[in-house]
Structure 1
Amino acid sequence: MEPVIINRGDSPLVLGLPHTGSHVPEDIFSKLNDEGRLLRDTDWHIDKLYDGLIDGATTVRATFHRYVIDANRDPSGQSLYPGQTTTGLVPLTTFDNMPIWREGEEPDEAEISRRAEHFHAPYHRALEAELERVKAIHGYAVLYDCHSIRSVIPWLFDGILPDFNIGTDEGRTCDPLIEEAAYSATKATGRTHVLNGRFRGGWTTRHYGRPDKGFHAVQMELAQSSHLASEVPPFDLDGEKADRLRRQLADILTGIMRAAADAAGRANRH
C-alpha cells in the first residue's frame, strides 16, 4: 500500500490527514501486543467527516497508522510539548501510557530511521508539494490539519477535552484574520471550544505555517465524543452526530477560506 493518497483540488485549501490511516505492515503488526493491535489512538472516521465539505479542497492522507510512525511528529524526535506527557515519533505506549509493543520488540533507532524514510518522508513530500502547487496558482495556501482524540485521557490532559481545539501555535502559523475566523466560526457552533489550549498545533502546523511566505496553517483537534457512538472499540461513527458536525465544520472551513482571501487581498494592497 502506498504511504499517502492525494486527491487534488483547485482551491488554496489543503486538508492534511496524518492519523486516519489504519494500515500496519505485517512485519510491524506482528510486533504489536494485544493492546497495540487495537489501534486505539486512530483518528477514527476523520476522513469521512471532512469528505466533500468544501469545493476544490485538496486532501493529503497518510494510509499508515501512527503506531508505524507518527506523521505529525518532528522527524528529529524532538518533543512537541517539552515538559508535558506525550507520545514520540514512533509511540511506545498508547495515550493512556499502556505499552503497545511485545516485550523486546520495541523499534530501535535503525528501525525508526527506516520507517521515517519509507512512511514519514513520503507523506511530507506530498504535503509540501501540494501546498506549493496551490500557492503557485493562488498566491497563498491554507493547510488545515485534521485531527481527533478521545475526550478523556488523564495521562495527557485534565478533565474533558473541548469539542473543538484550534491550534495556531499562539498565532504564529497563520494570519490573524484566519485565526479569528476559525475561532469565531467555532464559537458560533455553541459547542465547547478553545484556541491554543492543550493542543496548539503539532509539528505539521508549526513546520508549514509561514504566513509571511503565504503559507497559513491551522490544526483542528476534535474530541471524538463529538462524532463517535463510543470512544471504545469498535469506535463506530454516530451518523446523527456526524451529520451535525459536518455542517459545522463546513461553516468553519468556509469562514477560514474567506478570511484567507481577505488576508491575501490585504497583503497585495501593501
Structure 2
Amino acid sequence: MDWVSGESEPFEVREPEVQSVPLVFSSPHSGRAYPSEFLESSRLDALSIRRSEDHFVDELFADATEFGAPFLVAHFPRAYLDVNREPYELDPRMFDGALPSYANIGSMRVAGGLGTIPRIVAENMEIYRHRISVETALWRIEGIYKPFHATLRRLIARTHARFGLAVLIDCHSMPGNIRLSGSDLRPDFIIGDRYGTSASAELSRAAVHFLEEMGFTAVRNKPYAGGFITEHYGRPVRGLHALQIEVNRALYVDEATLEKRPEFDIIAAALSAFMRQMIDFAEDYRRETALAAE
C-alpha cells in the first residue's frame, strides 16, 4: 500500500536557510491531502470529513522558518492518522482481523473514538462505512506515523545539540465553542505544558503573557494540556521543552464553510509577532540557564 494523494510526501520539514534559534515548530493536524482510497472508504462527505483538521495552522505559523526555526508540517489529515497519540492506540471494533498484542485498546482516547486511527471526526461523526483491515492500520503507523516521529526526534535532537536547549512549539487549533469549565469564557488561545511537566513555568508563563499583551484571552492547560507529542518530547530537566498552542478557529475561519475569515491575516500577523517574542525569550532563557549552570 502506498501513500497516494496530491502531495508527493505525507509530511515535510520546512527548513530555514540556517537554523539560528533553539526552537522547533510542528503542525501535526493541519494536513488536508485526502487519499482517494481513504475517501472511498468513508461515509462522510468532503466537507464533513475535514471537521477534525486544524484548519490552516501551517499557514498561520508559516513565518517560523523566516525566524530561523524548522517547521514540521503534516500533509496527511488527522482523520486518516493521528500522530498526537501513542503509536498503537487502536479500537478493535474498527478492524477486520486481530490487532497485535501490544496495541493499547483501553485508553480513554480509543474509547472516545480518537485513537491513532480515529473512528470519528468532530460531533461524533463516524468516518468509515465498514471495518478496515488491520494491515491498513499498521501500514499507516509503520509507513507514516513512525517516520514522522523519527523526523521530529531528529529535529529536536539536532536543535538541542546545537544550542544546548530545544523548545518545541506544537501548533493546533480548537473549536470556537470551547469554554472553560464552570465559565462562559471562550479563550482565544490555550497554552499546554502538561501541567508543568513538559516545559518550564517561565516559558509557559511567557507564552501566555505575550498573547495577553496583544489583547487576546489566553489560559494554561484547560481544557487542553497537550497530547502525546507534548508529553513525549518535553523533558525540562534535560533542556527539552514542549509547549502546545491551541488557536481558537473562530478567530480566523468560518467553521461552517471552513473558509478563511477576513481576519485571517490579522491572526497570522499576531502569531508571527508571538513567535518572534518566544524566540527572543528562549534565547534569553538559554543564556540565563547557561550562566546558572557555571
Q: Structure 1 residues 160 and 45 mapped into 2: Cα distance closer, same or farther (>3 Å)?
A: farther
**CA–CA distance in structure 1, aligned partners of residues 9 and 110 of structure 2:** 35
Q: What is the TM-score of this pair, normalised by structure 2?
A: 0.81
Residue 51 (structure 2) aligns with: 40
**CA–CA distance in structure 2, aligned partners of residues 67 and 83 of structure 1:** 14
Could you list the runs of 5+ residues in structure 1 that have no partner in the other structure? Answer: none
**CA–CA distance in structure 1, aligned partners of residues 9 and 195 of structure 2:** 34
What are the superposed Cα offsets for residues 187-220 of structure 1, whole Å, 9 maximum, x if unpaired? Answer: 2122222110011111111111111122111111
Q: Structure 1 residues 15 and 92 mapped into 2: Cα distance closer, same or farther (>3 Å)?
A: same
Among 153, 160, 173, the residue aligned to 1:148: 173
Residue 112 (structure 1) aligns with: 137
Residue 36 (structure 2) aligns with: 26
Residue 177 (structure 1) aligns with: 202
The one-letter amino acid of 1:183's match is: V
| Larger Rg belongs to | 2
Residue 77 (structure 2) aligns with: 65
Residue 252 (structure 1) aligns with: 274
Check whether the contact 2:113–2:119 (CA below 8 A) recurs between aligned residues.
no
The one-letter amino acid of 2:59's match is: K
Check whether the contact 2:30–2:75 (CA below 8 A) recurs between aligned residues.
yes
Say whether 1:130 aligns with 2:155.
yes
Residue 166 (structure 1) aligns with: 191
The CA deviation at 1:149 is: 2.4
**CA–CA distance in structure 2, aligned partners of residues 61 and 204 of structure 1:** 14
The CA deviation at 1:143 is: 0.8
Say whether 1:222 aligns with 2:234.
no
Check whether the contact 1:152–1:159 (CA below 8 A) recurs between aligned residues.
no
Among 63, 79, 88, the residue aligned to 1:76: 88
**CA–CA distance in structure 2, aligned partners of residues 74 and 182 of structure 1:** 26
Could you list the runs of 5+ residues in structure 2 that have no partner in the other structure? Answer: 1-7, 90-103
**CA–CA distance in structure 1, aligned partners of residues 79 and 172 of structure 2:** 15
Among 151, 176, 188, the residue aligned to 2:213: 188
**CA–CA distance in structure 2, aligned partners of residues 28 and 84 of structure 1:** 22
What are the superposed Cα offsets for residues 98-146 of structure 1, whole Å, 9 maximum, x if unpaired? Answer: 11111x2x33544322211111111111111111112222111111111
Residue 12 (structure 1) aligns with: 22
Q: What is the TM-score of this pair, normalised by structure 1?
A: 0.88
The CA deviation at 1:69 is: 0.7
The CA deviation at 1:59 is: 0.7
Among 81, 90, 96, the residue aligned to 2:117: 90
Q: Structure 1 residues 261 and 250 mapped into 2: Cα distance closer, same or farther (>3 Å)?
A: same
The one-letter amino acid of 2:191's match is: I
Count of residue pairs the alignment pairs up: 264
Check whether the contact 1:36–1:99 (CA below 8 A) recurs between aligned residues.
no
**CA–CA distance in structure 2, aligned partners of residues 7 and 119 of structure 1:** 17
The CA deviation at 1:165 is: 1.0
Say whether 1:268 aligns with 2:290.
yes
The one-letter amino acid of 2:56's match is: H
**CA–CA distance in structure 2, aligned partners of residues 128 and 185 of structure 1:** 27
Check whether the contact 1:152–1:160 (CA below 8 A) recurs between aligned residues.
no
